Chains A and B, each alone.
Chain A
């Protein structure tokens, strides 16, 4: 739990980790030249210039292995947003590429961990990476007629019993439910499926940070 009053001069670090700086100053898998459509199998874009973050992702996919073999990107945003996309591209393409199903499970927290952490108030920046990747994968599913595999954004199921989704948690936090108890009271999430509670807590923390700073 964070204390209510934080002394800025001794509190959480402002500075970026060495890993963030590395990825910012030497981004990996960046798409330098404009591609022609045939160069890539799928692409996705999320964010908006007004928000200050836009990520665009291009994928190459090996259909036989159901694996992403190449991940190129471009990002408009602050250093952490650029570094987070760069890191995501590394995570997806290292070790001969990642299975699509595995790539779909990447969370912002996974990316942040690989970046050796982000300053608290920058955490929302990295969330777009996984969404852009999911958008591109959905594009691939559409193109290859695998409609049943498409995951509608925000519809990611958290609790199969109550059918509570990520979007429901987000909505609950926005309505002012800022603790696990408050969110449970509203959504009943995890009451019959306690395995999901760590994820729920992480989401509450994340959205709390995002909307209430």
Chain B
């Protein structure tokens, strides 16, 4: 018998929807034209892009020429930050981001910091929220761009974007700067992305989190926003993103956004019910569990918890044996061997982060899959706790706040590296 596969990692990626695939198929073989060409199949490809732009701009409530396609959400993030900074470097030198940003923002901001730009990383509260007052406090006439994720990809906590945008608007009066950017890659599936209501200048989208294809993302750029390209070439997409447009992926992206807009309202309610059942079930059947992120202001498909005394990667492997796919913020599961910086920014002790598990539900998740997890998880945790020599207490959250309070005086490898730098 084939092993049952239960997918609880929709924040990593989602399965392509058949309707999206159907829309894409002709553009691989039959309608293979390059949209830059004037003859018929070229014109058809161009039309296909126009349709996708229509679908996406309808969802964003913007004009179709306010959106450009990129190879990923990471590229869109890079274009927003580096593009704004390069276009306006004579007017300022400051970038404000939050501590919860995706690497696509974090890494480009850090690279610019090395080039002499000032980067302010706003702290977040234990509930994962950016305090709008903190943004306001740090704004000055040198600020080029503020970038706050709509919802981070680990806890799915929803940030007060419209509140922050009104603060920024009243700060800049009729000047164009600072721009306000948000990465909505994770949030789009379930949250409002009306750019007018949000009052946003730049917004990153990703297709593969919405049952669209991988390898395509995009950036909303409000009329009048000035960015410098980060990719140069034949001048496609208003010279902002050179390179032949990935027509099948763009068509799929448009279709996925449209599909998602139809799905969003009912889907949110459905997925929230399932997520709440999963959360309640775990807290009832597994002792010593902590919720990470905001208890209510969070995407309806996210559940991030820390299970004390067990290590995330071990748990991931055990669940994988049962066909259950999840993610963890544990150091052991990352390329860098560092625990999740997002969970650290929430003020969690390392001990808790190593045992963090992220369940992210999707449109395909069923009640029976939730029950399947609830059936196996408690026994798996119990077994790993028997292997573990630890017995942490929930109250230790306060006393362990000093990351250097270690038994045996051994500083963790990920800290030593930093100290020596």
Task: Give residues in A with beta carbon < 8 Å to B.
Answer: 24-25, 27, 30, 32, 45-52, 54-56, 74-82, 121-122, 124-125, 174-175, 210-213
Taking CB atoms, residues of chain A closer than 8 Å to B336 are 213
Chain B nearest CB from A166 CB (Å) reads: 14
Is the contact region of chain A dominated by helix, strand, or loop, or is it mixed?
mixed
Q: With the chains together, A56 CA to B386 CA distance in Å?
A: 12
Cβ-defined contact, B332 with A50, below 8 A: no
Cβ-defined contact, A77 with B406, below 8 A: no
Q: With the chains together, A94 CA to B392 CA distance in Å?
A: 33
Stretch in B36-44, B211-219, B408-416 with 4+ CB within 8 Å of A:
B408-416
Q: With the chains together, A122 CA to B400 CA distance in Å?
A: 26
Known: A46-B410, A50-B400, A51-B413. 13 other contacts (CB 8 A): A47-B408, A48-B406, A49-B350, A50-B406, A51-B410, A74-B387, A76-B309, A76-B387, A76-B388, A76-B390, A124-B337, A124-B413, A213-B336
21 contacts between A and B (CB under 8 A): A30-B387, A45-B408, A47-B408, A48-B407, A48-B408, A49-B407, A50-B350, A50-B400, A50-B405, A50-B406, A52-B331, A52-B339, A54-B390, A74-B386, A75-B388, A76-B389, A78-B312, A121-B335, A121-B337, A174-B416, A213-B417
Taking CB atoms, residues of chain B closer than 8 Å to A174 are 416, 420
Give A212's nearest chain B residue, CB to CB: B417
- The 8 lowest CB-CB distance pairs between A and B, nearest first, are A78-B332, A56-B389, A74-B389, A48-B406, A78-B313, A50-B350, A51-B412, A76-B388
Give B386's nearest chain A residue, CB to CB: A32
Q: Which of A27, A46, A49, A81 contacts B392 (CB 8 A)?
A: A49
Q: Which of A52, A74, A124 contacts B354 (CB 8 A)?
A: A52
Q: With the chains together, A191 CA to B12 CA distance in Å?
A: 52
Taking CB atoms, residues of chain B closer than 8 Å to A122 are 332
Q: With the chains together, A52 CA to B338 CA distance in Å?
A: 10
Taking CB atoms, residues of chain A closer than 8 Å to B389 are 45, 54-56, 74-76
Cβ-defined contact, B317 with A79, below 8 A: yes
Task: Give residues in B with beta carbon < 8 Å to A.
Answer: 309-314, 317, 321, 330-333, 335-337, 339, 349-351, 354, 386-390, 392, 400, 403, 405-408, 410, 412-413, 416-417, 420
Cβ-defined contact, A78 with B390, below 8 A: no
Q: With the chains together, A47 CA to B351 CA distance in Å?
A: 12
Q: With the chains together, A125 CA to B332 CA distance in Å?
A: 9
Taking CB atoms, residues of chain A closer than 8 Å to B400 are 50
Assuming the contacts A49-B350, A50-B349, A174-B420, asked whether A74 and B388 have C-beta atoms less than 8 A apart, the reply is yes
Chain A nearest CB from B184 CB (Å) reads: 27
Chain B nearest CB from A25 CB (Å) reads: 7
Taking CB atoms, residues of chain B closer than 8 Å to A49 are 350-351, 354, 390, 392, 407
Q: With the chains together, A79 CA to B312 CA distance in Å?
A: 10
Q: With the chains together, A50 CA to B408 CA distance in Å?
A: 11
Give B420's nearest chain A residue, CB to CB: A174
Chain A nearest CB from B339 CB (Å) reads: 7
Q: With the chains together, A185 CA to B97 CA distance in Å?
A: 44
Chain A nearest CB from B343 CB (Å) reads: 13
Q: With the chains together, A54 CA to B387 CA distance in Å?
A: 11
Q: Which of A79, A124, A213 contacts B314 (CB 8 A)?
A: A79
Cβ-defined contact, A24 with B317, below 8 A: yes
Q: With the chains together, A213 CA to B414 CA distance in Å?
A: 10
Q: With the chains together, A52 CA to B405 CA distance in Å?
A: 13
Chain A nearest CB from B241 CB (Å) reads: 25
Residue of A46, A75, A125 with most partner-chain B CB within 10 A: A75
Chain B nearest CB from A5 CB (Å) reads: 14
Give A128's nearest chain B residue, CB to CB: B410
Cβ-defined contact, B349 with A79, below 8 A: no
Cβ-defined contact, A51 with B406, below 8 A: yes
Taking CB atoms, residues of chain B closer than 8 Å to A82 are 314, 387
Q: With the chains together, A174 CA to B317 CA distance in Å?
A: 32
Residue of A48, A49, A74, A174 with most partner-chain B CB within 10 A: A49
Q: Which of B333, B337, B351 contacts A213 (CB 8 A)?
A: B337
Taking CB atoms, residues of chain A closer than 8 Å to B407 are 45, 47-49, 54
Q: With the chains together, A75 CA to B354 CA distance in Å?
A: 14
Taking CB atoms, residues of chain A closer than 8 Å to B317 are 24, 79
Taking CB atoms, residues of chain A closer than 8 Å to B416 are 174, 211
